[in-house]
Structure 1
Amino acid sequence: MIHKDGKRTTWYNNRIINDPTQDIFNADYWANQKKIVGRASGRGTTWFVQLEQIQGALRHYFRGGFFGKIVKDSYFFLGWDKTRSAREFKLLLMLKTAGVNVPEPIAARAVRYYFTYKADIISERIVNAQDLVDLLQGSALDSELYAEIGREIAKMHSVGVNHTDLNIHNILIDKSRKVWIIDFDKCSLARGEVYKKSNLARLQRSFEKEALRANIHWESKDFNYVLDGYKKYIEEVT
């Protein structure tokens, strides 16, 4: 669903959000209701809020890199559908509909300021889950779980999504051994095979990097299990 109010546009999941006119993108709104259940710090603070059905992760969009030191959180406005919040919300919705294990999109907002805009998003928080770095610091994974990672990536690629930052921080495993892919900011639809190979190569480099930096329980042969799961899924659907 879409709600437009002057210079603000909100995209929302009406199964979860009943009233998009509420100040749901303000952490104080949730704090006043005593629904803040945690937070995580990175480029900005991500606030975890308790909703009726699931937990949500509220995040404001901040720029990174050198340019982000000059312009913290403003982006050139080229149309509502081209805002980062709208693109991520719609991409998550498409992936979720296709059966890929990604966070449920809850709501996204863009606020226009003449030629620029600022943006926020609320997506599902995957509870009782660890990213691969944390998990592999504790123990090694078995070949079946690596194959499930490859399978989930293949599902994502089968609907044409290019995850431009596919690394082992953005793959979660929950307590039921379910594989999740997260962080779709700046990701997009793509065609062909080049982006798929690029995604997998980036993921492999991420394993190699963390094996040196974080001393994770991983060997280069383990990536073959990821590729096996990937190829098996492709064979099943073609």
Structure 2
Amino acid sequence: MFKTIQSSNIYIIYNSELIDDVSGCFDENYWQKKNAIIGCAQGRGTTWFIQLPLLQAALRHYRRGGLFGKVISDSYFFIGYNKTRSIAEFHLLNHLKDEGVNVPTPIAARVVRNHIFYQADLLSEKISNASDLVGLLQERRLTKQEYFEIGKEIKKLHQSQVNHTDLNIHNILLDTSSTVWIIDFDKCYQQDGEGWKEANINRLLRSFRKEVKKRAIHWDENDWEPLFAGYKANIS
């Protein structure tokens, strides 16, 4: 299922069941010529949404944030292919899929080396008919059951021993069937032990409190109780 292509300066890993030609799949112009682009989103760069034969996909070029990102926008120090941003995220998503966590399916990842630096791209599943919690909570309150399911999904993530280093309500989605999805695993990693999990949960709580002040979302402290109950529930 997973295939790799490697040359002197390019390394690609991809799921051959989801995409059979990766020759141009990391270039938005390639998809524009195929009339396959169905939208885009702006962040540090542009994420392109693409219609593949079997699913919708999101194409992202890795870019730095902060002040340093203004100097070196999209180059990273190379210390091995498996430690590059895109390849690491590709493998982490596959691990989480195998563990039954609702995350985007990774489709293809690329690294382009330039001496001691590299640039990276990732093509992964776009979760259809889904909104992040920020968008939803600007429109309505979530039900206790929805919060409970969010807590359960985070528990599954932690049982997989994955530390989501940016666990916030922008990175949790609900689709129209009320399925919970967790996204954006750049710079996340597997970690042994238990102590870090509480810090993850506290980070999420701070995110709710921050957005209440910033956007007046429909949330209050009582809504944390069913979410935390879901997190504490036994999951087989």
Is 1:18 paired with 2:41? Answer: no
Measure the CA separation in 2 of the matches of 1:139 and 1:82: 40
1:5 shift after superposition: 2.3
Aligned to 2:30: 29
1:194 shift after superposition: 2.0
Aligned to 2:55: 54
1:23 shift after superposition: 0.8
Is 1:123 paired with 2:109? Answer: no
Q: Percent identity?
A: 53
Aligned to 1:164: 165
Measure the CA separation in 2 of the matches of 1:68 and 1:194: 31
1:140 shift after superposition: 0.5
Aligned to 2:83: 82
Q: How many residues align?
A: 234
Aligned to 1:151: 152
Q: Secondary structure at the match of 1:221?
A: helix
1:204 shift after superposition: 0.2
Q: How far does the alpha carbon of each residue in 1:116-174 deviate from its partner, in whole angstroms, 9 at most, with x for none?
A: 00000011001111100110111101111101000000001101100000000000000
1:19 shift after superposition: 2.4
Q: Secondary structure at the match of 1:15?
A: coil
Measure the CA separation in 2 of the matches of 1:68 and 1:51: 31
Q: Secondary structure at the match of 2:63?
A: coil
RMSD across aligned positions (CA): 0.8
Measure the CA separation in 2 of the matches of 1:3 and 1:146: 42
Equivalent AA in structure 1 for residue 6 of structure 2? K
Measure the CA separation in 2 of the matches of 1:11 and 1:156: 24
Q: What are the ranges of 5 or more consecutive residues in structure 2 without an aligned counterpart?
A: none
Measure the CA separation in 1 of the matches of 2:16 and 2:231: 34
Aligned to 1:141: 142
Is 1:219 paired with 2:201? Answer: no
Is 1:8 paired with 2:10? Answer: yes
Measure the CA separation in 2 of the matches of 1:150 and 1:168: 12
Measure the CA separation in 1 of the matches of 2:205 and 2:148: 14
Contact kept? 2:156, 2:235, Cα under 8 Å: no
Is 1:105 paired with 2:112? Answer: no
Contact kept? 2:152, 2:235, Cα under 8 Å: no
Measure the CA separation in 1 of the matches of 2:191 and 2:235: 21
Give 4+ residue runs of structure 1 displaced > 3 Å after superposition. Answer: none
TM-score, scaled to structure 1: 0.97
